Amino acid sequence: MARELYVFDQPERFVAGTVGQPGERQFFLQARDGRRLVSVALEKQQVLLLAERLDALLDQVLRRSGGDAAIPAVAPSGVEDTEPLETPISEEFEVGSLAFGWNEETQLVIVETHEVVDEDDEIPELEEDPDNGPATLRVRITAAYARGFAKRAKSVVSAGRPPCPFCTLPLEPSGHICPRANGYRR
C-alpha cells in the first residue's frame, strides 16, 4: 500500500491528550504546525510507555555525554503544554507501533508512530522512508520539549480512574467487584 507520511520538524505543538470521561477515554497524539494538524489514536498503555521511554532515552543520552549534552534532567518550567487537544479531532490512523530515538547530529528526539498493520507487513526502521508501508507520524522535537511532552503524557494517563487500594484495578464511581476481596464490592 502507498504510504502516508506526516512529518513535523519541531512542530509548534506535540501532545498526548484524551477525549471522554475516565473509564471511557480515547487517547490521542496530536501534532500541529501552522494550520496543519494531525491526530492519531492510541491506547493508554502506549501513551504511558512512550512517556517513560522518552525520559529513559534522554537520561541515557545525558549519562553517556557525561552531563555535557544540552538535555534538562526534568521538564523546564514553561515547556509543558496544559491546553486541551485541538478540535475537531480527525483521526488519521490508529497506532499499532511506536519508535523513537536520538539523532546525535541534530540533537533532536525522533518519535514515530505507525498504523496498525497485518503480521506480514513490515514496519520501516526509524526515519526510513520506503514508498510502501504503514501510515506514519514522525515528529522531531528538542530534548526540553520531549521532557515536557513526557510530563504531560504521564499526567494525562494518571488523570483517569483511581486504582483500587487492594487489587489496583481501576475503580468505577460506583465501586467494583474486587478479586482480592473475594468478590465483594469496593
pLDDT tens digits for range 46-63: 999 999 999 999 999 999
DSSP class of 4: P
Instruction: Categorize the per-residue pLDDT at 7 as very low, low, confident or very high, splitting at 50, 70 and 90.
Output: very high
Residue 185: what pLDDT?
Answer: 62
Cα 104 from Cα 24, distance rounded (Å): 40
Who contacts 79 (Cβ-Cβ below 8 Å, separation ≥6)?
A: 144, 145, 147, 148
Sheet holding 108-115, edge to edge: 5-9, 136-141, 108-115, 91-103, 36-42, 26-33, 13-19
Number of neighbouring beta carbons within 10 Å of residue 73? 11
For residues 157-163, give the mean pLDDT: 80
pLDDT tens digits for range 96-144: 999 999 999 999 999 999 999 887 778 888 888 888 889 999 999 999 9
Question: What is the CA 112 to chain-centroid distance, rounded?
Answer: 10
What is the DSSP track for 11-27? Answer: -SEEEEEEESSTTS-EE
Cα 120 from Cα 60, distance rounded (Å): 33
Indicate the CATH number for domain 5-161: 3.30.2450
pLDDT tens digits for range 11-54: 999 999 999 988 789 999 999 999 999 999 999 999 999 999 99
Domain spans in the chain, listed from the N-terminal domain onward: 5-161
Residue given cell 484524551 in the structure block: 18
